[in-house]
């Protein structure tokens, strides 16, 4: 072959982009990539859809092979594995791969699996792997039911109202959801929502769940439920069986406010804290009565009750025995706070009027301080029942 012919061939090859890999290695060939995708898992099977995009349309066909692989999600338990070839027809720039997600109502951490791209034809691969995330926000969350319990009747009392949380959803005829993330007067850090991500019923328990997640301008979410204007009570024995979150920054509470709060304001309406726990004191709960003293200061009568183990290990029963001019707060039938008209004697005694319930889990605030590096989310309070007995 003479030198002139060789030169012509070299120039021709350069002009059409010769390479050993053909068009898949052509620097002018479009690139393909798959985007990460997520899907909320439901009780029944659903579909997670990956989108696969070609950077520009071609006049010919382009293709890429794909295959799923396990991460924390495992096939076939969590999803159906799949492999194949995607072919972009002339002019096409986006295709989809639908992966079947197995139905499951168990609430657990999110799970991941992967989509791997390989063997491109007439294109290149920009990103070889995409992540599929299965969000497990189901409303089935079993928990150890062991612990202290109380009877369904007492001599001299009759049951006037209870919520055993045995239905499939929270009864909104009895319960309200308060919402917002304004600190709630205590510089709390959560945003309270009405979502099932933050409050739901499972296996006979109410679950209030605090999460570490961005919501509005807040970095945490939780729930705050009340019976205001729906279920109010004056006197009786109240039993609430619950298991508590105990990590740093947690502030679960089972409490009551005077039903006249909108007109009297706080603390003149009165506040009864049947149970509060501060995460830095995981083996101790506090019971309190708050009211408005003469001169305008807040009055408080309270005491702490301690265990040898923390309050997340088992269920305990937090009770209030409430009579005219007299109140007692109990844990597992042990009285540890006394409040009456004799020691609440400055200002107007507010505890002979109707009150309503509040159940919530706060994150942070002036009393517990913020979560720290030891706090693992989500954090949950389980409530087995609330019962109100009256004479």
* Three-state secondary structure call for residue 22: helix
Catalytic: which of 271, 298, 309, 323?
A: 271
Closest CA to 101 of 48, 154, 149: 48
Other beta carbons within 10 angstroms of residue 47's beta carbon come to 12
- Residue 188 falls in the annotated catalytic set: no
Report the residue count for the chain. Answer: 391
Catalytic: which of 145, 188, 276, 309?
A: 276
- DSSP, residue by residue, 342-377: TTS-SS---TTS-EEEEEEEEES-TTT----TT--S
Phi/psi of residue 152, each to 5°? -90, 0
**Alpha carbon separation from 172 to 200, 228, 241, 255 (Å, rounded):** 12, 11, 20, 19
Q: Specify the DSSP element, H or E, that contains 262.
A: helix 261-264
Q: How many whole angstroms separate alpha carbon 203 and alpha carbon 178?
A: 24
In sequence order, the 6+-apart residues with CB closer than 8 A to the CB of 251 are 188, 276, 277, 278, 279, 361, 362, 363, 364, 365, 367, 368
Other beta carbons within 10 angstroms of residue 338's beta carbon come to 15
- Residue 271 falls in the annotated catalytic set: yes
Q: How many whole angstroms separate alpha carbon 374 and alpha carbon 274?
A: 27
In sequence order, the 6+-apart residues with CB closer than 8 A to the CB of 370 are 189, 248, 249, 363, 364
Q: Which two tokens stand for residue 54?
A: 């070609």
Beta bridge partners of 330: 319, 335
- DSSP, residue by residue, 283-340: TEEEEEEEEEPTTSPEEEEEEEEE-SS-TTSSBEEEEEEEETTEEEEEETTEEEEEEE
Catalytic residues: 271, 276
């Amino acid at each position: 072959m003479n030198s002139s012919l060789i030169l012509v061939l070299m120039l021709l090859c350069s002009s059409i982009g010769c390479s050993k890999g053909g068009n898949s290695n052509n620097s002018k060939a479009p690139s393909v990539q798959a985007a990460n995708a997520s899907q909320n898992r439901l009780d029944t099977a659903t579909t997670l859809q990956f989108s696969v995009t070609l950077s520009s349309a071609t006049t010919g066909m382009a293709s890429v092979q794909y295959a799923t692989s396990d991460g924390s999600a495992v096939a076939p338990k969590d999803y159906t594995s799949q492999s194949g070839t995607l072919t972009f027809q002339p002019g096409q720039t986006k295709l989809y791969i639908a992966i079947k997600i197995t139905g499951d109502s168990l609430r657990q951490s999110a799970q991941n699996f992967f989509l791997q791209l390989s063997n491109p034809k007439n294109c290149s691969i920009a990103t070889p792997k995409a992540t599929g995330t299965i969000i497990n926000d189901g409303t089935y969350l079993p928990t150890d039911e062991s612990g202290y319990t109380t009877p369904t009747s007492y001599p001299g009392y009759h049951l006037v109202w209870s919520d055993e949380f045995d239905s499939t959803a929270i009864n909104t005829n009895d319960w309200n959801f308060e919402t917002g993330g304004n600190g709630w007067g205590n510089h709390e850090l959560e945003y309270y929502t009405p979502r099932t991500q933050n409050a739901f019923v499972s296996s006979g328990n109410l679950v209030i769940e605090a999460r570490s997640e961005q919501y509005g301008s807040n970095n945490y979410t939780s729930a705050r439920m009340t019976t205001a204007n729906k279920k109010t009570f004056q006197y009786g024995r109240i039993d609430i069986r619950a298991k508590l979150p105990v990590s740093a920054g947690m502030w679960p509470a089972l409490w009551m406010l005077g039903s006249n709060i909108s007109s009297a304001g706080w603390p003149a309406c009165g506040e009864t804290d049947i149970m509060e726990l501060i995460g830095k004191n995981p083996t101790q709960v506090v019971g309190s009565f708050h009211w408005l003293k003469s001169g305008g200061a807040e009055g408080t009568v309270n005491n702490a009750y301690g265990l040898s183990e923390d309050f997340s290990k088992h269920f305990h029963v937090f009770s209030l025995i409430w009579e005219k001019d007299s109140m007692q707060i109990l844990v597992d039938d042990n009285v540890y706070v006394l409040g009456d008209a004799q020691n609440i004697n400055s200002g107007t005694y507010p505890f002979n009027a109707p009150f309503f319930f509040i159940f919530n889990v706060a994150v942070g605030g002036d009393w517990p301080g913020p979560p720290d590096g030891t706090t693992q989310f989500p954090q949950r309070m389980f409530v087995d029942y609330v019962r109100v007995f009256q004479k």
